[in-house]
Structure 1
Amino acid sequence: MLAKAAQNALAKQAKSLFRFKGCLNIKRNAPHIISRPATATAALPLPASRDDVDIVALFDQPQAAQRSASTSYTGLFGHPILTTPAAFNALADSTLRRAQLLTERVLRARESREELFRVVKNLDRLSDLLCGVIDLAELIRNAHPDNAWVQSADEVYEKLCEFMNILNTHVGLYEVLHAVLSDPEVVRSLSPEAHQTALIFWRDFEKSGIDLPPEQRNRFVSLSTEISLLGRQFLNETASARPPAVIKPAELQGLKDLGMGARLRLQAQVTNRDLLVYPGSLQAQMIMRSAPAEEPRRKVYIAANASTPEQIQTLERLLRARGELARLVGKPSFAHMTLSDKMAKSPENVQHFLDALMDHTHPYARRALRTLSMRKQGHLNTESFPTIQAWDRDYYCPPEPPAPPVSLPPLTLGTVFMGLSRLFQNLYGISLRLAGVAPGEVWHTNVRKLEVIDEQTGVLGWIYADLFARRGKPSGAAHYTVRCSRRVDDDDVEGDFRYADERDRTIVQMSQNFEDAHRRQFPGQEGTFQLPVVVLLCEFARPSISRGPTVLEWHEVMTLFHEMGHAMHSMIGRTEYQNVSGTRCATDFVELPSILMEHFLSSPAVLSLFDLDDSFSIRQAGNHHEDPCRSIDTHTQILLAALDQIYHSSAALEDDFDSTTTLAGLYEVRGLIPYVPGTSWQTQFGHLFGYGGTYYSYLFDRAIASRVWQKLFSHNPLTRTTGEKFKRDVLSHGGGKDPWMMVSKLLGAPELGSGNAEAMAEVGRWKIEDEVSVPGRH
């Protein structure tokens, strides 16, 4: 599992030209819902359909097998070729040859004016060709239960990524694109979406050091390799076990957790030894929440946040290598380099956002800290208010699992999917419907297939739901893009073979029939489009005949809503270019639709969609209360985002840079709770690799989502007019339009359109989930 985690993070790091970086898995491990219940009346929901009833049975009745789409055997995702691991390697080889032919065509583009006009389209086709197999390989190696398939997927992934890396630094392709963007007539012919796609390719080329002299370009490649290796090492060390804390039995007197506490004390008495408590274990969590004595909590905290000199060295080498890479391409820091194509645009703008958010959050966090200090004073019976230490947080404010804002009966998986389908139907005129699965189409019998149906235009795409836990399956939840939407009727495949050997034509035929079967025209939209396919991975308990259907905890309901927000973005974001379709958009914009979906769970009107036949009533929860520590957690997330910015600034290149001293200094200036000497928890901050320079993104999107919810949806969340507005102004564009312009139009806030420093600060001043926020944990 550690190796797979490292590979997934490296995949994100390596995605550059041809929008492989856009073909990411959007992952989320511990979602939270934060909004208070809406108080305004909502529109009457549309009644449940026959399809909605079928969905309940599909997910809740283990004996009800999904109907077959065909009696004939096929391959994965209905691809006739993907029937064996060896066939996957064969498909990769044919894809590689097709990509080589298309690359050669682009390189010859300046020989013909007609071909020059097709360069952006052909680069996007090349990207789609490679991403379609690479993304499939990434899914298979994470989800397939057969080791032979996993090994084949690893081989395919490495093979095509190697070719992708060649394209990323191909001077010839860069020169052809330069010719396109330097030709006024060609530029005028590009649609806004095509021009955005061209600029994406251009920026990614520049980030790859393409215009550097040969010696410096070699250095760029060397540094990139070093960063990948250091990143793998950093992630492995992040997940490695820490040495245990040594706890004396007497220090565990009075544990609140009588069950586990009694077992721990009994263990100590039987062995007559001190207890070894490993960070992250259930025993460690219990001590942090239940031990009245401060000393055992302090020991566990220090053990959990200690680092070896080697771990710190790995991180600091990674940060320095990133800084040197940025300097090579003329950027002051890695943050400047990575933010240039994000909504934030620069580290300075990120700081404007974080400062404004901190100014808003700080009073609430100070108030919460005072509450904890009062609790500690009462516990210790001291005259003055004692200082809250890092190991006090969970004891005086034990973390509670998320709970619905109103009292609800148990929600089964099928019921929640039915509610999602009804919600989408009310908002967008889109519903979910059972789809047949042919033999061999899915990688496990638990996988379910859903069609996404628009009431006006028909099938938009497909969702494969792999939702139940099993041995070897990765933990957490993820949205995988297997195939993107794009326009295909103007591909001119025949032109790819103008200079090719006749036998190369057979390569296309291997998959052409499959591709033709997954394309369609849409009424009112010119052209024929490739239909998107996404996969949702979760780890819910499997239903059984003896236990009955899967009943979801509230955090699991929120997980499903979040991931389905990504899925609907992929379905609705139908663009002509796959590089900007669906979730292929800026890192600091991609979470907006999914976080917004969480807000709908705060509305009783939306929760009523879980009720198929008016068999249960929704009542205000009597024990629902605000967590006074939420603002402390938000404050901590702001500090993490600030630390990420400092670590990826030019400071990382200074000779005396010390990541631990930097962390302690940040706590001294902006922290609430004192820094604990001897700790260095930055070596466990794994997002420093995958989200280097962009960790602010989740808070940023949460602020925007809160604003959208409050202004557009909170008073009447099931209104079709509002849903259509969000679909039209945001979801349908994918990444093909400036996100600032989308947000500006959606909220009726023209001052945001420029996306400048003031716009970033304005978002920081917005309230996140009413008055305080809970950080998302990616």
Structure 2
Amino acid sequence: MYTRLQARAWTCTRCLKQQRIAKRHLITSQSSREATATAAALSEDFHPVSKASTSVNHDDRTLRQIFDSSSFWKDFSSRAKPRHGEQSAGLFQNRYLTHAEGFQTFAETTLRKCQKIVQRVLACDSVEGYKRIVKDLDRLSDLLCRVIDLSDFVRAVHPNPRIQSAASHAYSMMFEYMNVLNTTTGLNDQLKKAASISEVYNSWSEEERTVAAILEKDFSKSAIDFADTERRAFVDISNEIAQVGTEFVDQGAPAIPSLTFDSSRLTGMDPIIVRQLTRWGTATLPTSGMPATLALRTVADAETRKEVYIAHRTSAPENLARLEILLKRRAELAQVSGYESYGHLTLADKMAKSPESVVSFLDALARDNAPRARERTHELLALKKADPRAVGADGELHAWDRDYYTSQLLNSMRSKKREPDFLNAYFSLGTVMQGLSRLFHRVYGIRLVPREPLPGEMWNPDVRRLDVIDDHEGHIAVIYCDLFEREGKSPNPAHFTLRCSRRIGEEELHEAAELVSQPGSPFSSIEQAANEGLATNVNPRDNNALYQLPTIALICDFAVPPPSSSGQPRPALLSFREMTTLFHEMGHALHSICGRTALQNVSGTRCATDFAELPSVLMENFAAAPEVLRLFARHWETDEPLDPARVLERVEFDRKMASAEVEGQVLLGMLDQQLHSALPLSWREGEVGQSSKVYHDVWRTFSSIPEPAQTSWQGFFGHLYGYGATYYSYLFDRAIAGKVWRDLFQRRPGGAVDPEAGRLFREEVLRWGGGRDGWRCVAGALRDQDGVLARGEKGAMEMVGSWGVYD
């Protein structure tokens, strides 16, 4: 329960749906079976709303217009402005959240439901009671996440300080209760007892068994099985890790904040920037941030670049001390928990299973990448030898030469080809969203349907709501798209889960019927009360059981379009990179959309960390596929279709430089593994810089260009805290995604829009969420159910590494 009850900013996806249903009067004595039948009947009446027509073509046109035409969006969203006397529908249509005080009511109501479940689980003493214990604990987790995930999102994005404050209070209230549950030994004891009864265990579905194992491990992460002394030690170490880790991330700084030069030594750098840095002929260059990066790319003098490089990559001793305390405490935590190292503790429930397997994967990937890395190094060295400013140099390529000659190489490549920036005229935000919907419809049988916002539903007027409609199953998800920049908004693209897929049980429907019948109830139907007003629908895959639907929020930071010189309203135009980013984030959403699991602990992106990026990385391949580009890429003014060959030029341009990125990621992955081994246990307290030896050992082994001995870049590697022992995951999923793309979606011409390939990927990967071992998902998609992949051992990791990350 420990892990699953914590909010996850990077991965989560949820969705919501408003039903068009007649108001019914319900009485408390209605049986739960009648409540189920009523809810199913109401869902059958639902039709997704578009502006006027429900036709596919109309929805398709409307989808483009709501993102590309501000006047169309203003008209389409006019219902979001409450009319005189009209009541708010509540944020996300949560009927409690019609005003700031509603967060308190939402949290208190949820808390009472949680307490009732806890009492029932602790009092359980029958086989029938133990059979339902996984569902009870999963619902308990879901109730907590309903408040924690939604409140965490609202306090981060809502512009109203009162609502931010109310959301923060609700978050804290439920998070505190969650921590109490994590140390409630009775819950852990009852779960273990249930799993030990063969009649009970054999009655559970595969999904229930998976969730039981997840919850047991989550309880163990709270040291719930420890004696009092060990538990106190565990809690003390965990608290220190959290404090020191946060400080390490927040306070990273170079040992020398700035360097001073005669301004002439910065020749080659943008003169405007040099003037800004110069006073009385002396330039003061910060050693962190963009000025240092620009200097390394553009300054002609090698000695100056060397000074900048070393200062730029040498951490302040104070932050090295924080890092080394963090790493040593993590090693101690693992030891207290009975593991050889923190890496072993963290990876036990991941696809990799062990640090040894991760190293095997990274080794194999490094071998695959080495020829390309050497080729690129030779290209850069050739440029240096041809550089008249480098005459008399030692004939070697140094670390401070890399960015400078890479920049020259890129400039020479750009001069031979048309600049790629022209592509954005073909990627208006509306056409890209239209393209995503068309792609999803052809490949997965689902489409994105614009939905008129209701009063109070959105946190900002620029937010668009899309319902996800399946050709066979109807409404299956909701996506809130907050895609435009604004003051105070985070610039980082992100994907949030606000509510997970989950089956709503008969007992819940009976409770909902009682809620509806109460005087002053904010709910007008059983379905509303069962999910607080958020979206529900029946699931034909599960005997038409009622499900809460995933509710997802996508956040991007696209520029608001400037006025056009022609007078024609200009839509937001995306660069190729921005378009690919949107495809990536929609890949996360797709995982939750198609993963309609009965239990929320394994819904969508709630899966192993090293499996979570597979759908999103795979989606990046679709962004450059000619058959996909033909679905949508048209000039925003002329409607001229884009020649896919132009995108191929850009892809080849990026691929040319990819070996350096892969090498860099391998280095960081290896460093992450080495620093989270048992090695920090041998470090002496108070002796700063012991991690530097590990850093330089890794660079000597895997880097194609030597690193200066003075540097200590590990002190800037903030992901060591957030991704401790799992930094390899992106490369790992990128290698798998490349293989799936080649073998499944490119095995025949036009494969990127092949519905058979989409069906296989949806059935073998997407629909399972975290309810199936990731290796079995990958093996199923690649039609290798009985081979090395399905077993998922060290050999499987080495095989994935040998695939590389290139097409």
TM-score (norm 2): 0.85
Secondary structure at 2:365's aligned position in 1?
helix
- 1:18–1:275 distance in 2 versus 1, CA, 3 Å: closer
* 1:95-174 → structure 2 map (5 Å cutoff): 95-109=110-124, 111-174=125-188
Candidates 391, 406, 410, aligned match of 1:397 = 406
Question: Aligned pair 1:587/2:597, yes or no?
Answer: no
What is the aligned partner in structure 2 of residue 38 from structure 1? none
Question: Aligned pair 1:639/2:667, yes or no?
Answer: yes
Candidates 734, 753, 774, aligned match of 1:739 = 774
What is the aligned partner in structure 1 of residue 679 from structure 2? 651
- 1:245–1:76 distance in 2 versus 1, CA, 3 Å: same
What is the aligned partner in structure 2 of residue 523 from structure 1? 540
Secondary structure at 1:551's aligned position in 2?
coil
Q: For 1:378 and 1:144, how far apart are their aligned partners in 2?
A: 55
Report how far residue 190 of structure 1 moved. Answer: 0.2
Candidates 89, 98, 103, aligned match of 1:83 = 98
Question: What code does the residue aligned with 2:690 have?
Answer: D
What is the aligned partner in structure 1 of residue 583 from structure 2? 561
Report how far residue 145 of structure 1 moved. Answer: 1.3
Question: What code does the residue aligned with 1:760 have?
Answer: M
Contact 1:63 1:545 in 2 (8 A): no
Q: Name whichever of 758-767 and 244-253 sits farther off.
A: 244-253
Contact 2:256 2:316 in 1 (8 A): no
What is the aligned partner in structure 1 of residue 16 from structure 2? none
1:322-346 superposed Cα distances (whole Å, 9 cap, x missing partner): 1111111100111100101000011
Percentage of matched positions with identical amino acids: 39
Q: For 1:266 and 1:543, how far apart are their aligned partners in 2?
A: 30
Report how far residue 83 of structure 1 moved. Answer: 2.2
1:523-569 superposed Cα distances (whole Å, 9 cap, x missing partner): 34321111110000111112366662111111110110000001111
Contact 2:296 2:400 in 1 (8 A): yes
Report how far residue 299 of structure 1 moved. Answer: 2.7
- 1:177–1:394 distance in 2 versus 1, CA, 3 Å: same
Question: Aligned pair 1:697/2:729, yes or no?
Answer: yes
- Unaligned stretches of 5+ in structure 1? 1-15, 29-46, 771-778
Contact 1:319 1:647 in 2 (8 A): yes
What is the aligned partner in structure 1 of residue 500 from structure 2? 484
Contact 1:62 1:545 in 2 (8 A): no
* 1:492-511 → structure 2 map (5 Å cutoff): 492=508
- 1:102–1:511 distance in 2 versus 1, CA, 3 Å: farther
Question: What code does the residue aligned with 1:19 have?
Answer: R
Question: Aligned pair 1:751/2:788, yes or no?
Answer: yes
Question: How many residues of Structure 1 are paired with residues of Structure 2 in the alignment?
Answer: 727
- 1:182–1:723 distance in 2 versus 1, CA, 3 Å: same
Secondary structure at 2:753's aligned position in 1?
coil
Question: Aligned pair 1:261/2:279, yes or no?
Answer: no
Contact 1:405 1:602 in 2 (8 A): no
1:460-500 superposed Cα distances (whole Å, 9 cap, x missing partner): 110000011111111210000000001113445769999xx
What is the aligned partner in structure 2 of residue 724 from structure 1? 759
The RMSD of aligned alpha carbons is: 3.0
- 1:574–1:306 distance in 2 versus 1, CA, 3 Å: same
What is the aligned partner in structure 2 of residue 43 from structure 1? none
Q: For 2:664 and 2:559, how far apart are their aligned partners in 1?
A: 32
Contact 1:145 1:473 in 2 (8 A): no
Secondary structure at 2:5's aligned position in 1?
helix
- 1:518–1:555 distance in 2 versus 1, CA, 3 Å: same
What is the aligned partner in structure 1 of residue 35 from structure 2? none
Question: What code does the residue aligned with 1:457 have?
Answer: E
Contact 1:561 1:598 in 2 (8 A): yes
- 1:572–1:405 distance in 2 versus 1, CA, 3 Å: farther
Q: Name whichever of 749-758 and 242-251 sits farther off.
A: 242-251
What is the aligned partner in structure 1 of residue 47 from structure 2? none
Candidates 482, 486, 491, aligned match of 1:470 = 486
What is the aligned partner in structure 2 of residue 417 from structure 1? 433
* 1:679-690 → structure 2 map (5 Å cutoff): 679-690=711-722
- 1:648–1:606 distance in 2 versus 1, CA, 3 Å: same
Contact 1:574 1:582 in 2 (8 A): yes
Report how far residue 633 of structure 1 moved. Answer: 2.0
Contact 1:595 1:702 in 2 (8 A): yes
Q: Name whichever of 527-536 and 291-300 sits farther off.
A: 291-300
Secondary structure at 1:17's aligned position in 2?
coil
Question: What code does the residue aligned with 1:640 have?
Answer: L
* 1:315-394 → structure 2 map (5 Å cutoff): 315-379=323-387, 380=389, 382=391, 386-394=395-403
Contact 1:406 1:604 in 2 (8 A): no
Q: Name whichever of 372-381 and 65-74 sits farther off.
A: 65-74
Q: For 1:136 and 1:769, how far apart are their aligned partners in 2?
A: 38
Q: For 1:507 and 1:620, how far apart are their aligned partners in 2?
A: 56
Report how far residue 68 of structure 1 moved. Answer: 5.3
Report how far residue 86 of structure 1 moved. Answer: 2.3
1:133-182 superposed Cα distances (whole Å, 9 cap, x missing partner): 11111111221112222222222222211211222222111100110110
Report how far residue 263 of structure 1 moved. Answer: 5.0
Q: Name whichever of 479-488 and 60-69 sits farther off.
A: 60-69
1:170-202 superposed Cα distances (whole Å, 9 cap, x missing partner): 211110011011000000000001110111001
* 1:208-357 → structure 2 map (5 Å cutoff): 208-238=222-252, 243-253=257-267, 255=268, 260-262=270-272, 264-265=274-275, 268=278, 271-357=279-365
What is the aligned partner in structure 2 of residue 512 from structure 1? 529
Contact 1:55 1:418 in 2 (8 A): yes
Candidates 658, 661, 669, aligned match of 1:630 = 658
Question: What code does the residue aligned with 2:274 have?
Answer: L
Report how far residue 90 of structure 1 moved. Answer: 2.6
Contact 2:127 2:200 in 1 (8 A): no
TM-score (norm 1): 0.88
Candidates 591, 597, 600, aligned match of 1:575 = 597
What is the aligned partner in structure 2 of residue 10 from structure 1? none
Contact 2:527 2:536 in 1 (8 A): no
1:75-111 superposed Cα distances (whole Å, 9 cap, x missing partner): 10011211222221231122222212211211112x2
Secondary structure at 2:467's aligned position in 1?
strand
- 1:678–1:383 distance in 2 versus 1, CA, 3 Å: closer
What is the aligned partner in structure 2 of residue 180 from structure 1? 194
- 1:668–1:312 distance in 2 versus 1, CA, 3 Å: same
Secondary structure at 2:759's aligned position in 1?
helix
Contact 1:451 1:461 in 2 (8 A): yes
- Unaligned stretches of 5+ in structure 2? 14-54
Contact 2:495 2:553 in 1 (8 A): yes
Report how far residue 383 of structure 1 moved. Answer: 7.7
Question: Aligned pair 1:618/2:650, yes or no?
Answer: no
Question: Aligned pair 1:17/2:2, yes or no?
Answer: yes
Question: What code does the residue aligned with 1:475 have?
Answer: P
Question: Aligned pair 1:675/2:704, yes or no?
Answer: no
Candidates 33, 48, 67, aligned match of 2:77 = 67
What is the aligned partner in structure 2 of residue 662 from structure 1? 694
- 1:689–1:617 distance in 2 versus 1, CA, 3 Å: closer
Question: Aligned pair 1:541/2:563, yes or no?
Answer: no
Q: For 1:381 and 1:543, how far apart are their aligned partners in 2?
A: 45
Report how far residue 219 of structure 1 moved. Answer: 1.1
Report how far residue 112 of structure 1 moved. Answer: 2.8
What is the aligned partner in structure 1 of residue 550 from structure 2? 532
Q: For 1:616 and 1:280, how far apart are their aligned partners in 2?
A: 43
What is the aligned partner in structure 2 of residue 776 from structure 1? none
